[in-house]
């Protein structure tokens, strides 16, 4: 099976998008670590690893359909952030952009009657639904914790708990 050049180019753009997300979340994780927020660091580091895995899935798919995956030059993400609350708002906004990008890929696959790519992308649709739901949960918990003097401690503790639950779920064979 051969993929169209237009679809190959679009998937290569998604590779770059997923790679940037991985680097962005890693940069956010490093910033959180510098702020003493180990739970947030672990959470965002795992998110970064997940985005890299999303990128690699597209590499493998393109090889399977006789396409060519490009290793992109990835723009350096920001290094400094206003607050941990701003970090997670940015993560949620970025996940919404990823969802829009996946939806555009599906629209293109539908237009091209590329049923294999439609099927492949369905995993990303489900993953993005889960990612957005998780980030809404994170933002809801941050909002409930508020921004009092101890808020960073409780936000970090909450992110640590969410991360440990996701790791446990993955170990049990579930999706994060």
Over the stretch 96-146, which tens digit does the pLDDT of each residue have?
999 999 999 999 999 999 999 999 999 999 999 999 999 999 999 999 998
Average pLDDT score over the chain: 94
Q: Backbone phi, then psi, for 119, in 5-degree steps?
A: -65, -45
- Torsion angle of C-alpha atoms 71, 127, 49, 151, degrees rounded to 10: 130
* CATH code, 5-171: 1.20.1260.10
| Cα gap 90→34, rounded to integer Å | 18
- What are the C-alpha distances in Å from 168 to residues 61, 68, 131, 135, 161? 28, 35, 17, 18, 10
- CB-CB contact of 94 with 102 (8 Å): no
Q: pLDDT-based confidence at 149, cuts 50/70/90?
A: confident
Contact 136, 92 (CB under 8 A): yes
Predicted TM-score (pTM) of this structure: 0.91
* Structural domain spans, the chain: 5-171
Cα–Cα distances (Å) from 164 to 70, 71, 176, in that order, read: 34, 32, 10
Position 171 scores a pLDDT of 85
Chain segment 29-66, per-residue pLDDT in tens: 999 999 999 999 999 999 999 999 999 999 999 999 99
């Amino acid at each position: 099976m051969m993929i169209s050049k237009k679809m190959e180019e679009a998937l290569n753009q998604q590779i770059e998008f997923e790679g940037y997300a991985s680097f962005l979340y890693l940069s956010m994780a490093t910033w959180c670590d510098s702020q003493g927020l180990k739970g947030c660091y672990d959470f965002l580091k795992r998110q970064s690893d997940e985005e890299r895995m999303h990128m690699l899935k597209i590499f493998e798919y393109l090889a399977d359909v006789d396409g060519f995956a490009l290793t992109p030059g990835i723009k350096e993400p920001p290094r400094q952030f206003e607050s941990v609350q701003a970090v997670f708002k940015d993560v949620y906004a970025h996940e919404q952009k990823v969802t829009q990008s996946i939806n555009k890929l599906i629209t293109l696959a539908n237009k091209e009657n590329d049923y294999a790519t439609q099927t492949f992308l369905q995993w990303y649709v489900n993953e993005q639904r889960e990612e957005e739901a998780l980030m809404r949960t994170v933002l809801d918990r941050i909002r409930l914790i508020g921004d009092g003097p101890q808020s960073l401690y409780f936000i970090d503790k909450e992110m640590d708990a969410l991360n440990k639950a996701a790791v446990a779920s993955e170990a049990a064979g579930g999706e994060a």
